[in-house]
Amino acid sequence: MKTRQGLTPLNLINSEEVERVFNEFKPNWVIHCAAERRPDVAEKDPERTETLNVKIPGHLAKLAKSLKYTLVYISTDYVFDGTSPPYTPSAQTNPLQLYGRTKRDGEEAVLSVSGAKVVILRVPVLYGPAPSNADSAINILLDVVQDQSGKQYKMDHYATRYPTNVVDIAGFLKRLSEPFTKYEICLVFAGILGLAHGHIVPDAEPPKDATSRPRDCQLYTKETEDLARLAGLEPGGLGFECGFEEWWRGYLVGTV
Q: Is 158 a catalytic residue?
A: no
Residues constituting the chain: 256
Quote the CA–CA distance of 109 and 58 in Å, as a whole number: 5
Quote the CA–CA distance of 72 and 183 in Å, as a whole number: 25
Q: Which of 13, 8, 7, 61 is nearest to 34 (CA)?
A: 13
Contact assessment for residue 82 and residue 124, using Cβ atoms and an 8 Å cutoff: no
CB under 8 Å to 143, separation ≥6 — which residues? 133, 134
Cα dihedral across residues 141, 46, 1, 108: positive or negative: positive
Cα dihedral across residues 179, 77, 113, 9: positive or negative: negative
- Which is the catalytic residue, given 69, 78, 99, 127? 99
Q: Which residues are catalytic?
A: 99
